[in-house]
Amino acid sequence: MVASHVDQSWAPPTVDGALAWVTPVYDRWLAWKRTADLTGRRYVEVKAEDLAADWPEQRRAVIPAMGYA
């Protein structure tokens, strides 16, 4: 994820800079997520490595959870 940011003209050009830039964003998201009630909402958290490891199985779980048949 950081490498993809480094390659963007709008993001810091170094790994350290990109990490410093995205860390507060992720910290805020994780803090909010701990307090949010996501029950009954169309919220699905998926790890990219899980998708890569077993796309057919992950697809069967993720797509219906998002409300698609």
Burial of 47 (0-12, 13-18, 19+ CB in 10 A): exposed
The single residue listed with the structure tokens 């797509």 is 63
Q: pLDDT tens-digit profile of 7-34?
A: 999 999 999 999 999 999 999 999 999 9
Q: For residue 55, what pLDDT band results from cuts at 50, 70 and 90?
A: very high
Model pLDDT, residue 3: 84
pTM exceeds 0.85, yes or no? no
CA distance 69 to 63: 7
Model pLDDT, residue 4: 87
Q: For residue 40, what pLDDT band results from cuts at 50, 70 and 90?
A: confident
Please give the structure tokens belonging to residue 5.
Answer: 């940011």
